[in-house]
Amino acid sequence: MIQKLIQKIKILLAQLNQHQVKRIKNRTMVFSANQEYLVHLIAGKLKSNGIESITLNQKDSTYNNFGEIELYVHTKDVVKAKYIIDQTNEEE
């Protein structure tokens, strides 16, 4: 179990290093979707695990089909948040 967790953390860290990470004042984007309910679902899951998050709605106000809603967590919580999000995606 611990080895599997360590392996997941290593993979997440590698992914974070490979991709350009969007940041807002000590916060890092960990999830985005164009359906608001998905973002709120993930935000609730993070909150129940002790991780506070903020959302940033990037949808175009004229054409609601363009853009996404982004979810940000404090930079120190990125690895834990990504792990929780991955677990949530595996449950679906």
47-56 pLDDT per residue, tens = 999 999 999 8
Which sign, positive or negative, has the C-alpha torsion 17, 90, 78, 67? Answer: positive
Each residue of 16-29: pLDDT tens digit?
A: 655 545 667 789 99
What's the pLDDT at 76?
94
Question: What domains does the chain contain, in order, with CATH numbers?
Answer: 2-91 (3.30.70.790)
CB atoms within 10 A of CB 46: 22
Helices (H), the chain: 2-18, 36-48, 78-91
Distance CA 28, CA 16 (A): 10
